[in-house]
């Protein structure tokens, strides 16, 4: 391991005579150092030609200004947010308003917005220290959440959050005329987002579970679309992670689109033109296929619910599309009590 360089025991010139270094030269021609110009042009002229000698107090002031920053930086100090500073992606500051640490996630000009005021997380997000993701231990517990509400962290540590949107509803199967039957299309799979958050014991997260889209009702002569699945989301530490709902199937056109997320859901299978019975049209990946094999026109059956997408109708009987499966959230963490 590389040893530390010689560390400062105090900011340079802490007890010396020194000038306060201004941002710009206060009086033109006075020969004083500023942050903008450094030593001005007159300090390079002969004294007999109107030049000014560089000031010892300026040298001490310059060293003290730089040394103060370096002295605190070597201690791992996190600086307070300053509205007069530009910030760049990756900068970490403390907002004195709430005394929390924030990480800059997009370059911003001075005074754009204070971290604690950025509720949309456009420029700032709460910074959580801890293990790098590559060092996160294996997870040995998973909480499966299927209803909206509040989740309370049982332990302090890293959590892996998986958010799945509701599947889209399937369209129906109906008589297209001239002996041709049109099967319904499959609904799209809900999108999936996977994220990591560091949470303290009893810290809470708000969870919304998206409902599966409704499958179109059975109808002998009219095609109907399925409805879209709802978005699922988890909000924690001012960050919101969303698994978009899958698209409802469109009759005689296409399967529903996959929902949005870090992993986009699979689209449903498009409609089929058939004459025979017993044909299934599949929903998106993770979703069930269409309804059971045709039995009779007098007893149509809806499709089977998908676990993330939905099947369309089938066969020459008049079948409704299936409903999409509801979304869900997985929250995984390492519980030391399970490995004594």
The confidence band for 298, taking pLDDT boundaries of 50, 70 and 90, is very low
Encode pLDDT of 221-231 as tens digits.
Answer: 677 888 999 99
List the single range of 19-23, 59-63, 149-153, 248-252 with lowest mean pLDDT: 248-252
Q: Name the E strands within the chain.
A: 92-95, 100-104, 124-126, 141-145, 149-152, 157-164, 174-175, 181-182, 192-199, 204-208, 232-236, 239-243, 273-274, 328-333
Question: Quick one: average pLDDT of 273-281?
Answer: 58
Q: Which of 13-27, 86-100, 257-271, 295-309 has the lowest mean pLDDT?
A: 295-309
Q: Name the residue among 162, 159, 261, 262 with its Cα closest to residue 207.
A: 162
Element (DSSP H or E) covering residue 28: none
What average pLDDT does range 249-265 have in this prediction? 85
Cα–Cα distance, 225 to 162 (Å, whole number): 29
The torsion defined by the Cα of 166, 170, 171 and 175, in degrees rounded to 10, comes to -170
Token output for 296: 């009779």
pLDDT band at 146 (very low <50, low <70, confident <90, very high): very high
Q: What is the DSSP letter of 103?
A: E
Is the pTM higher than 0.75? The answer reads no
Give the highest mean pLDDT range of 4-8, 44-48, 289-293.
44-48
Tell me the DSSP string of 245-304.
PPPPPBTTTBPPPPPPSSBPPPPPPPP-EESSS------STTS--S-PPP--TTS--PPP
How far is it between the farthest Cα atoms of the chain?
112
Q: For each of the domains in the chain, give its residue range(s) and CATH number, in order of start.
A: 8-76 (no CATH), 78-127 (2.10.10.20), 141-340 (no CATH)
What digits encode the pLDDT tens for the residues 195-221?
A: 888 888 999 999 999 999 988 887 766
- Give the position of tokens 């990591």: 196
- Which tokens is 327 given? 């979304």
Cα-flanking dihedrals φ and ψ of residue 60, to 5°?
-65, -40
Calculated CA dihedral for residues 259, 157, 80, 125, nearest 10 degrees: 0
∠ Cα 124 129 130 (to 5°) = 145
> Measured between alpha carbons, how far is 281 from 315 in angstroms, rounded to an integer?
9
């Amino acid at each position: 391991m590389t040893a530390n360089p010689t560390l400062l025991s105090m900011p340079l010139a802490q007890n010396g005579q020194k000038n306060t270094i201004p941002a710009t030269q206060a009086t033109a021609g006075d020969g004083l150092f500023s942050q903008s110009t450094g030593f001005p042009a007159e300090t390079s002229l002969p004294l007999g030609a109107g030049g000014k000698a560089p000031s010892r107090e300026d040298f001490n002031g310059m060293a003290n200004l730089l040394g103060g920053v370096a002295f605190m930086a070597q201690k791992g100090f996190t600086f307070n947010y300053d509205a007069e500073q530009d910030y760049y992606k990756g900068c970490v500051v403390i907002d004195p308003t709430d005394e929390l640490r924030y990480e800059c996630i997009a370059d911003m000009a001075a005074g754009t917005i204070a971290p604690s005021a950025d509720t949309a997380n456009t420029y700032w997000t709460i910074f959580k220290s801890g293990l790098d993701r590559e060092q996160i231990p294996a997870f040995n517990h998973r909480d499966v959440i299927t209803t909206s509400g509040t989740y309370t962290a049982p332990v302090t540590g890293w959590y892996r959050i998986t958010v799945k949107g509701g599947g889209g509803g399937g369209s129906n199967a109906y008589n297209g005329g001239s002996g041709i039957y049109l099967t319904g299309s499959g609904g799209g799979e809900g999108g999936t987002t996977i994220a990591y958050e560091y949470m303290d014991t009893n810290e809470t997260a708000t969870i919304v579970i998206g409902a599966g889209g409704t499958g179109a009702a059975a109808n002998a002569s009219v095609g109907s679309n399925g409805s879209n699945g709802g978005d699922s989301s988890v909000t924690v530490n001012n960050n919101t992670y969303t698994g978009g709902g899958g698209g409802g199937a469109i009759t005689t056109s296409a399967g529903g689109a996959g929902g949005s997320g870090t992993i986009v859901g699979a689209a449903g299978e498009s409609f089929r033109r058939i004459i025979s019975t017993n044909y299934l049209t599949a929903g998106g990946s993770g979703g069930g296929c269409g309804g059971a094999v045709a039995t009779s026109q007098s007893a149509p059956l809806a499709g089977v619910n998908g676990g993330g997408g939905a099947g369309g109708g089938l066969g020459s009987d008049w079948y409704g599309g299936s409903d999409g499966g509801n979304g869900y959230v997985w929250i995984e963490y390492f519980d030391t009590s399970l490995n004594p």
